[in-house]
């Protein structure tokens, strides 16, 4: 089984997502804000006739919010709901060179909550994040 | 050949389904020629097709039915109960056989001679005499209804494809508008555009089905089951134009079926039992569907014997479902819901129809699985109500879209009572920290959507629009927005759980320009704005407790000058004003001048200390009165169930303390006063009783009086009644009475 990873840049840092979970990558257009929605939900965007809930990945990882610098989004689907994960850039889809392993350093709480582990790739060792935990970030915090 | 058979099966099914609705009505009124012709055409078509396909058994059956009905149509035979039953049995048998063919079973083996013999039997007692009319031509058969079955996933794909095309169309339209397009190109684009709109409208209907179709389909089952159990039940169906997703309808079919069967089996009494308890012998089963904002409510109401909550509880305790203490703490609605616990059945005896306790738990589970809610309310002896609330997911909601701070939101139109432009007809006043607006002399709490959502309003406040929102409990509040964008039907799609969990949104819709618009949950919004009454809050959080929800009335709460807390219903409050003490007119009662009119002022038992006092101006039955307060005016929901008059005053409980409810009737009834022209014998003996019988209290010259009677300056034998100079001869009793009455009326108005 090829273990392809999508490498995205968030707040200047590389993160990996399992490519198999990614439906598409879109350029973010207008984001319609959702008043009083919990972080990291920043609004709604559309992909043709589909409405996507926009998650600011930087916020989800408790990094400085990307705001308007997030021009791209990784489209994923969880429990039938489409999400657009806003990131600074999407770099590539590359195979993982090896297994996931526990991080050697202590991660910041925001990263630790979503992290699956470190993985080696041709662009270096990156942190692979879990989609469900990334998207449900604020909910877990509240619970 | 296979294709033809498939088409025959589909057509026969469709026709049978269409007939189903008419059958029960036909049975009640066998003289209905229209229905008779419909059934005749059906058996005729079946017969014709069978010959073609070599299905002798089906053909013989259809032929016998056609013969019997043909005789009826020709007026040679009257319809009786036996014939009706036989025809219904034939239709059932045809249906079975068609399903058999569809499943590729061999159906040639059966025997239908029993049915054919029943058709041939003449009824001994005809139920209705068929009026002889010219036979209707059978050739008027309608175009057969054709249908295909498609996987819903395919339908979904086509639908989203159409939506995408519409979006591209809109984008293209914008671009064309900005260019000096070739007229021929524009014309073609226009055609393409309208074709797309038509296609979109057609596609929107594809997944939808009127819920009436589902409810109608139970008619026959009710009839058969009721007949079997010796009960007489009339079914009433009220489904309006409610449409539901086809898939949702299929998911509801079995749970509803079970609830209805239960009602017929356990709920309804036999005609004899009903009569013994003073009810009409015929039971009524009401099936209704209604769209209430963010959900579809399906109600199944019967007027049968009801469910005895005590019995349910006793059984639940016996089976170990709950402990006695748990049961004692439960609300009546929750106690009834115990019938949905596995293994609990309320039936006194297990019957073949239901009553094995394997139903209601499954019903509740299937409704909850589709995100719905089941509630039960019942009054022993009077009947039971099953309420199913099904979410609007995928349903089309008539909506109003509003703009706030450059963003568009949608509201379900069913909540919107009216739309008012904030202008000279609308006054804004703060009461108890909440902004209120007065629209046509009614006072409503007002929420600024922009303020709640932290969005800057773009319009000047006097250009804003008030959407008057009527909640399910009947209370109304004003939602202040920048502008109304559109009236439209929106397809509401589910939105991410994080967004739903805010409690402010029910879903998201896509507008014509492709932008998403959130549909507001108005209950959540009003709670966030701090104006939802407790009643609404309970409706949302604890539906089970709704059955005995307290009756809360929104009231203005204030302390009087005497320190006593008082309350008066919000809808009778006209204004809160500040009045300088120097401007209070003395008397009993005192008065103030408000908007150019004299308004009696109550609550001055203690003299005010400051330079001015706060006064609530109330309107009651078309009359105004004012009440002095010591400030600190607030609003609160008062539970009318706590009201008592035992102490001579109307007191209610608020936050565990007593509060006096103003009795506007009694305040009004304070006797008006009258000043008489003198103290002579005629006045005391004659005029005074007249004035007193007209409801006035006579006061002496030093006092203020509502009415003043004086002698006419010009003629001593005349009196002037009131300030408007109505002169009446002293000895004309009839005229005097009339003048007094007129004066009271003027005062009242």
Which of B131-145, B339-353, B397-411, B712-726: highest mean pLDDT?
A: B397-411
Query: What is the CATH number for A69?
Result: 2.40.50.180
Give the pLDDT confidence score for residue B631 in this predicted structure.
Answer: 72
In chain A, the residue whose alpha carbon lies closest to the alpha carbon of B170 is A48
Give the pLDDT confidence score for residue B670 in this predicted structure.
Answer: 62
In chain B, the residue whose alpha carbon lies closest to the alpha carbon of A29 is B515
Backbone angles phi, psi at B81, to 5 degrees: -55, -45
Subunit contact B498:A51, Cβ cutoff 8 A: no
For chain A, what is the HEC assignment?
A: CCCEEEEEEECCEEEEEEHHHEEEEEECCCCECCCCCCCCEEEEEEECCEEEEEEEHHHHCCCCCCHHHCCEEEEEEECCEEEEEEECEEEEEEECCCCCECCCCCCCHHHHHHEEEEEEECCEEEEEECHHHHHCHHHHHHC
Q: Is B152 on the interface with A (CB under 8 A)?
A: no
Query: pLDDT tens digits for B236-246?
Result: 888 777 787 77
In chain A, the residue whose alpha carbon lies closest to the alpha carbon of B456 is A35
Cα end-to-end distance, chain A, whole Å: 36
- In this prediction, residue A129 has a pLDDT band, given cuts at 50, 70 and 90, of very high
Between B347 and A8, the more confident residue is: A8
Annotation: CATH topology of B2-140: 1.20.120
DSSP-derived letter for residue B572 is: G
In chain B, the residue whose alpha carbon lies closest to the alpha carbon of A38 is B498
Between A104 and B671, the more confident residue is: A104
Task: Using an 8 Å CB-CB cutoff, list chain B residues near A47.
Answer: none
In chain B, the residue whose alpha carbon lies closest to the alpha carbon of A40 is B498
pLDDT at B542 over 60: no
Task: Using an 8 Å CB-CB cutoff, list chain B residues near A141.
Answer: none
Give the pLDDT confidence score for residue A34 in this predicted structure.
Answer: 92
Subunit contact A38:B498, Cβ cutoff 8 A: yes
Minimum distance, in Å, between the CA of residue B156 and any CA atom of chain A: 12
Task: Using an 8 Å CB-CB cutoff, list chain B residues near A31.
Answer: none
pLDDT at B138 over 50: no
pLDDT at A25 over 50: yes
Subunit contact B455:A35, Cβ cutoff 8 A: yes
Disruptive mutation site among A44, A142, A143 for chain B (greatest number of B CBs within 10 Å): A44
Between B197 and A35, the more confident residue is: A35
> What mean pLDDT comes out for the span B552-577?
79
pLDDT at B340 over 90: no
* CB interface of B with A, residues 490-549, below 8 Å: 493-499, 501-502, 504-505, 508, 510, 514-518, 528
In chain A, the residue whose alpha carbon lies closest to the alpha carbon of B406 is A32
Subunit contact B499:A37, Cβ cutoff 8 A: yes
pLDDT at B216 over 90: no
Peptide bond into B543 cis (omega under 30): no
Of A36, A48, A49, the CB nearest to B502: A36
Cα distances (Å, whole numbers) of residue B45 to B38, B39, B91, B96, B634: 11, 10, 13, 17, 74
Minimum distance, in Å, between the CA of residue B346 and any CA atom of chain A: 38
Between B579 and A90, the more confident residue is: A90
Output B449-453 pairs: Cβ under 8 A, ≥24 positions apart.
B449/B402, B449/B404, B449/B409, B449/B479, B449/B480, B449/B481, B449/B525, B450/B404, B450/B405, B450/B480, B450/B481, B450/B482, B452/A35, B452/B525, B452/B528, B452/B529, B453/A35, B453/A36, B453/B404, B453/B405
Helices B113-120 & B81-102 angle (0-180, nearest 10)? 150
Subunit contact B497:A45, Cβ cutoff 8 A: no
Query: What residue segments make up the domains of chain B, in order of their start?
Result: 2-140, 152-206, 210-391, 400-542, 550-668, 673-748
pLDDT at B682 over 50: yes
Cα distances (Å, whole numbers) of residue B581 to A99, B604, B605, B609: 85, 11, 14, 9
Subunit contact B498:A83, Cβ cutoff 8 A: no
Share of chain B above pLDDT 90, in %: 2
A63, part of any domain:
yes
Subunit contact B510:A45, Cβ cutoff 8 A: no
- In this prediction, residue B360 has a pLDDT band, given cuts at 50, 70 and 90, of confident
Of B164, B453, B501, the CB nearest to A48: B164
Give the pLDDT confidence score for residue A87 in this predicted structure.
Answer: 92
Disruptive mutation site among A51, A52, A137 for chain B (greatest number of B CBs within 10 Å): A51
> What mean pLDDT comes out for the span A43-66?
87
Task: Using an 8 Å CB-CB cutoff, list chain A residues near B452.
Answer: 35
Disruptive mutation site among B153, B247, B498 for chain A (greatest number of A CBs within 10 Å): B498
Instruction: State which residues form the domain around A63.
Output: 4-138
Give the pLDDT confidence score for residue B48 in this predicted structure.
Answer: 75
Give the pLDDT confidence score for residue B600 in this predicted structure.
Answer: 83
Minimum distance, in Å, between the CA of residue A53 and any CA atom of chain B: 6
Q: Which of A76-80, B143-147, B325-329, B353-357 has the lowest mean pLDDT?
A: B353-357
Give the pLDDT confidence score for residue B410 in this predicted structure.
Answer: 93
* ipTM, two decimals: 0.88
Alpha helices of B586-677 — where are they, by DSSP H?
664-668
- Report DSSP letters for B358-399, one per residue: -SHHHHHHHHHHTT-EEEEEEETTTEEEEEEEEE-TT-EEEE
- In this prediction, residue A47 has a pLDDT band, given cuts at 50, 70 and 90, of confident
CA distance B12 to B3: 14
Of B504, B508, B516, the CB nearest to A36: B504
Query: pLDDT tens digits for B219-235?
Result: 888 888 888 888 888 88
Subunit contact B499:A33, Cβ cutoff 8 A: no
Q: Are B405 and B482 in contact (CB under 8 A)?
A: yes
Share of chain B above pLDDT 70, in %: 82
Size of interface A-B (CB pairs under 8 A): 74
Q: Collapse the DSSP code of B621 into the 3-class scheme (helix H, G, I; strand E, B; otherwise coil) and give the result.
A: coil
Q: Are A56 and A38 in contact (CB under 8 A)?
A: no
Q: Which of B23-32, B412-421, B448-457 has the lowest mean pLDDT?
A: B23-32
CA distance B475 to B536: 9
Give the pLDDT confidence score for residue B325 in this predicted structure.
Answer: 81
> What mean pLDDT comes out for the span B166-189?
80
Q: Which of A92-106, B89-103, B273-287 has the lowest mean pLDDT?
A: B89-103
pLDDT at A76 over 90: yes
Between B345 and B662, the more confident residue is: B662
Give the pLDDT confidence score for residue A53 in this predicted structure.
Answer: 93
Task: Using an 8 Å CB-CB cutoff, list chain B residues near A49.
Answer: 160, 163-164, 166-167, 510, 514
In chain A, the residue whose alpha carbon lies closest to the alpha carbon of B451 is A35
Q: How many domains does chain A have?
A: 1
Interface of A to B at Cβ within 8 Å reads 30, 32-38, 41, 44-46, 48-51, 53, 79-81, 83, 135-136, 138-139
Annotation: CATH topology of B210-391: Heat Shock Protein 90 (3.30.565)
Q: Which CATH architecture has domain B400-542?
A: Beta Barrel (2.40)
Q: What is the mean pLDDT of chain B?
A: 76
A123, part of any domain:
yes
* CB interface of B with A, residues 318-347, below 8 Å: none
Task: Using an 8 Å CB-CB cutoff, list chain B residues near A44.
Answer: 495, 508, 516, 518
Disruptive mutation site among A35, A139, A143 for chain B (greatest number of B CBs within 10 Å): A35
> What mean pLDDT comes out for the span B367-372?
70
Cα distances (Å, whole numbers) of residue B688 to A98, B396, B694, B701, B728: 111, 71, 10, 14, 15
In chain B, the residue whose alpha carbon lies closest to the alpha carbon of A43 is B499
Query: pLDDT tens digits for B150-160?
Result: 777 787 788 77
Question: Vertex B16, ends B252 and B254: CA angle to 5°?
Answer: 15
Q: Are A37 and B499 in contact (CB under 8 A)?
A: yes
pLDDT at A72 over 50: yes
> What mean pLDDT comes out for the span B47-62?
77
Disruptive mutation site among B157, B496, B520 for chain A (greatest number of A CBs within 10 Å): B496
A128, part of any domain:
yes
* pTM, entire model: 0.47
- In this prediction, residue B663 has a pLDDT band, given cuts at 50, 70 and 90, of confident
Annotation: CATH topology of B550-668: OB fold (Dihydrolipoamide Acetyltransferase, E2P) (2.40.50)
Give the pLDDT confidence score for residue B87 in this predicted structure.
Answer: 81
Which among B378, B361, B388 has a CA at the least distance from the CA of B307?
Answer: B378
Give the pLDDT confidence score for residue B293 in this predicted structure.
Answer: 57
> What mean pLDDT comes out for the span B6-21?
75
Query: pLDDT tens digits for B372-403?
Result: 778 888 888 888 889 888 865 554 667 899 99
pLDDT at B447 over 80: yes
A143, part of any domain:
no
- In this prediction, residue B518 has a pLDDT band, given cuts at 50, 70 and 90, of very high
pLDDT at B125 over 60: no
Give the pLDDT confidence score for residue A73 in this predicted structure.
Answer: 93
B400-542 against B550-668: fold identical: yes
Q: Which of B263-267, B437-441, B588-592, B691-695 has the lowest mean pLDDT?
A: B691-695
């Amino acid at each position: 089984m090829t273990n392809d990873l999508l490498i995205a840049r968030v707040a200047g840092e590389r993160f990996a997502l399992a490519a198999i979970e990614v439906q598409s990558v879109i350029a973010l257009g207008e984001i319609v804000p959702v008043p009083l929605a919990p972080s990291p939900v920043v609004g709604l965007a559309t992909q043709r006739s589909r409405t996507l809930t926009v998650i600011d990945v930087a916020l989800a990882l408790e990094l400085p919010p990307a705001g308007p610098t997030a021009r791209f989004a990784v489209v994923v689907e969880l429990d039938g709901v489409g999400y657009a994960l806003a990131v600074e850039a999407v770099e590539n889809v590359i195979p993982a060179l090896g297994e996931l392993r526990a991080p050697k350093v202590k991660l910041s709480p925001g990263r630790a909550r979503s992290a699956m582990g470190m993985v080696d790739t041709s662009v270096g060792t990156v942190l692979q994040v879990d989609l469900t935990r990334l998207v449900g970030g604020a909910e877990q915090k509240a619970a | 050949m296979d294709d033809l058979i498939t088409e025959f099966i589909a057509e026969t099914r469709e026709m049978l389904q269409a007939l189903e609705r008419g059958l029960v009505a036909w049975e009640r009124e066998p003289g209905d020629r229209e229905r008779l012709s419909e059934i005749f055409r059906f058996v005729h078509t079946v017969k014709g097709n069978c010959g073609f396909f070599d299905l002798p058994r089906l053909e013989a059956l259809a032929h016998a039915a056609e013969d019997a009905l043909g005789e009826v149509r020709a007026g040679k035979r009257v319809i009786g109960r036996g014939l009706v039953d036989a025809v219904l049995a034939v239709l059932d048998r045809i249906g079975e056989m068609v399903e058999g063919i569809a499943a590729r079973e061999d159906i040639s083996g059966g025997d239908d001679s029993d049915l054919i013999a029943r058709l041939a039997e003449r009824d001994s007692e005809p139920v209705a005499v068929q009026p002889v009319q010219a036979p209707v031509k059978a050739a008027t058969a309608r175009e057969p209804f054709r249908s295909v079955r498609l996987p819903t996933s395919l339908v979904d794909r086509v639908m989203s494809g159409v939506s995408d095309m519409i979006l591209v169309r809109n984008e293209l339209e914008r671009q064309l508008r900005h260019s000096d397009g070739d007229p021929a190109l524009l014309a073609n684009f226009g055609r393409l555009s309208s074709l797309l709109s038509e296609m979109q409208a057609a596609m929107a209907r594809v997944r939808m089905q009127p819920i009436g179709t589902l409810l109608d389909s139970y008619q026959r089952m009710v009839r058969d089951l009721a007949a079997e159990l010796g009960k007489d039940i009339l079914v009433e169906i009220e489904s309006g134009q409610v449409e539901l997703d086809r898939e949702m309808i299929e998911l509801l079919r079995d749970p509803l079926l079970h609830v209805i069967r239960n009602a017929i089996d356990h709920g309804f009494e036999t005609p004899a039992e009903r009569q013994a308890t003073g009810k009409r012998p015929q039971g009524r089963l009401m099936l209704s569907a209604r769209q209430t904002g963010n959900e579809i409510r399906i109600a199944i109401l019967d007027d049968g014997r009801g469910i005895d909550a005590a019995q349910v509880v006793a059984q639940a305790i016996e089976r170990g479902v709950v402990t006695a203490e748990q049961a004692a703490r439960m609300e009546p609605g929750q106690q009834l819901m115990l019938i949905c616990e596995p293994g609990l059945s309320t039936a006194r005896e297990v019957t073949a129809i239901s009553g094995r306790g394997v139903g209601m738990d499954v019903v509740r589970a299937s409704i909850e699985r589709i995100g719905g809610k089941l509630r039960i309310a019942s009054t022993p002896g009077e009947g039971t109500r099953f309420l199913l609330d099904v979410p609007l997911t995928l349903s089309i909601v008539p909506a109003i879209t509003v703009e706030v701070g450059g963003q568009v939101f949608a509201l379900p139109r069913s909540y919107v009572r009216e739309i008012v432009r904030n202008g000279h007809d609308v006054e804004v006043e703060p009461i108890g920290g909440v902004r209120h607006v007065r629209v046509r002399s009614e006072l409503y709490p007002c929420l600024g959507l922009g303020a709640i959502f932290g969005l800057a309003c773009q319009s000047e406040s006097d250009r804003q629009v008030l959407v008057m929102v009527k909640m399910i409990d009947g209370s109304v509040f004003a939602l202040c927005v920048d502008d109304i964008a559109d009236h439209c039907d929106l397809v509401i799609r589910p939105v991410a759980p994080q967004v739903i969990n805010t409690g402010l949104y029910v879903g998201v819709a896509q507008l014509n320009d492709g932008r998403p618009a959130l549909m507001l949950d108005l209950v959540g919004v009003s709670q966030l704005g701090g104006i939802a009454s407790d009643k609404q809050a309970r409706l949302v959080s604890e539906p089970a407790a709704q059955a005995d929800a307290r009756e809360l009335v929104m009231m203005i709460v204030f302390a009087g000058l005497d320190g006593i807390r008082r309350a008066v219903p919000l809808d009778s409050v006209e204004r809160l004003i500040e009045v300088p003490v120097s401007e209070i007119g003395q008397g009993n009662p005192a008065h103030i001048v408000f908007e150019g009119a004299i308004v009696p002022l109550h609550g001055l038992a203690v003299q005010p200390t400051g330079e001015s006092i706060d006064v609530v101006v109330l309107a009651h039955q078309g009359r105004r009165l004012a009440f002095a307060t010591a400030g600190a005016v607030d609003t609160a929901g008062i539970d009318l169930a706590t009201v008592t008059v035992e102490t001579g005053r109307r007191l209610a409980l608020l936050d565990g303390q007593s509060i006096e409810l103003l009795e506007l009737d009694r305040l009004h009834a304070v006797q008006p006063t009258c000043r008489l022209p003198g103290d002579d014998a005629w006045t005391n003996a004659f005029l005074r009783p007249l004035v007193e019988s007209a409801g006035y209290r006579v006061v002496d010259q030093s006092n203020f009086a509502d009415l003043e009677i004086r002698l006419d300056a010009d003629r001593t034998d005349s009196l002037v009644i009131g300030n408007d100079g109505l002169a009446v001869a002293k000895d004309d009793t009839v005229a005097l009475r009339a003048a007094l009455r007129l004066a009271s009326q003027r005062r009242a108005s």
